[in-house]
Amino acid sequence: MKPHTVTAHLNYFGELGVTGLSKDPVWRGRGAQARQKSAEVETEASVFAGTGSLEAIRSDLGECTRCKLSGLGRQQIVFGVGNPSAELMFVGEAPGRDEDKQGIPFVGRAGQLLTKIIEAIGQSRESVYIANVIKCRPPQNRNPEEDEVETCEPFLFRQIDVIRPKVIVALGAFAAKTLLRMDAPISKLRGREYEYRGAILVPTFHPAYLLRNSKGKREVWEDMKRVRGLLERGP
Ligand code: URA
């Protein structure tokens, strides 16, 4: 393709709102098929990027059948809930049974604990935004699979880009590892801050882990104090 044709193409896609494909080196390191799929999905998601509202993202998602989870018993898509201009956003793994039933993230036992954690730093479910990496319940709450993540996460990226939170709390190993593209246990990832899509990302233990393992509560409280401090800090 001649250089001016390339420029015309880029301009055309620019006007459509296509902001480009992932340049993440870890992303590039994946298999060719996964790369191709991820590029297609991210392009699809990016094409809509000009229409920057949560409603537009939800509408683009539609009655999503892009991945196999749509045919594996999910009742509904669990998009996200809360303040569309929240300074603080929580990202979990995927809906569980209660969330799938109600269409709202973190409403089961783990969700009730999350609500208490949120309130402990002077916030509320209404002041923050809560979402998951995956918007449909995996069968038997199994871990989401790579193709499901690749298909679904561009919609989370768009949610983050529209909300533009100051701080994102990644709840649990799955969310932290997926967002950060880092393969380390949550006990190693937590305890520090990461730059992420214009926000500061703070990984912490998943509330479901705390329900089984009260030992992690002290660390979660430390992480949440860090979050509170970051929110209090100027822009
Ligand atoms: N666990 C999650 O990761 N997300 C939910 O919405 C509920 C439980």
Rounded CA-CA distance 74/77 in Å is: 8
User: How does pLDDT run across 56-111, given as a tens digit for each residue?
Assistant: 999 999 999 999 999 999 999 999 999 999 999 999 999 999 999 999 999 999 99
What does pTM read for this prediction? 0.82
The residue with greater pLDDT, 124 or 7, is 124
Torsion-angle region of 152 (φ positive above 0: left; ψ -120 to 50: alpha; else: beta): alpha
Pocket mutation for ligand 1, best pick of 93, 115, 149, 210 (most atoms within 8 Å of C-beta): 93
| pLDDT at residue 191, rounded to an integer | 98
CA of 213 to the centre of ligand 1 (A): 17
H/E stretch holding 155 reads: helix 146-163
Token readout for 29 is: 């390191």
| pLDDT at residue 41, rounded to an integer | 52
Instruction: Identify the residue whose tokens are 């679904």.
Output: 152
Report whether pLDDT(148) > 90. yes
* Residue range 26-43: mean pLDDT, rounded: 45
Return the beta strands (E) in 24-80 as ranges. none
Comparing 37-46, 99-108, 178-187, the range with the smallest average pLDDT is 37-46
| pLDDT at residue 112, rounded to an integer | 98
Report whether pLDDT(123) > 50. yes
Report whether pLDDT(173) > 50. yes
| Residue 93 beta carbon below 6 angstroms from any ligand 1 atom | yes
Rounded CA-CA distance 171/156 in Å is: 14
Rounded CA-CA distance 75/38 in Å is: 25
The residue with greater pLDDT, 136 or 15, is 136
Dihedral of the alpha carbons of 107, 105, 204, 162, in degrees to the nearest 10: -150
* Residue range 179-194: mean pLDDT, rounded: 98
| Residue 92 beta carbon below 6 angstroms from any ligand 1 atom | yes
| pLDDT at residue 15, rounded to an integer | 29
CA of 137 to the centre of ligand 1 (A): 9
| pLDDT at residue 44, rounded to an integer | 54
| Residue 133 beta carbon below 6 angstroms from any ligand 1 atom | no
**Confidence at 52, pLDDT banded by 50, 70, 90:** confident
Instruction: Identify the residue whose tokens are 């992932």.
Output: 22
CA of 42 to the centre of ligand 1 (A): 24
| Residue 148 beta carbon below 6 angstroms from any ligand 1 atom | no
| pLDDT at residue 34, rounded to an integer | 46
Where exactly are the structural domains of the chain? 3-232
| Residue 205 beta carbon below 6 angstroms from any ligand 1 atom | no
Angle at 153 between CA 82 and CA 121, to 5 degrees: 35
Torsion-angle region of 140 (φ positive above 0: left; ψ -120 to 50: alpha; else: beta): left
- CATH superfamily of the domain spanning 3-232: Uracil-DNA glycosylase-like domain (3.40.470.10)
| pLDDT at residue 107, rounded to an integer | 98
Report whether pLDDT(138) > 80. yes
| Residue 100 beta carbon below 6 angstroms from any ligand 1 atom | no
| pLDDT at residue 176, rounded to an integer | 98
| Residue 176 beta carbon below 6 angstroms from any ligand 1 atom | no
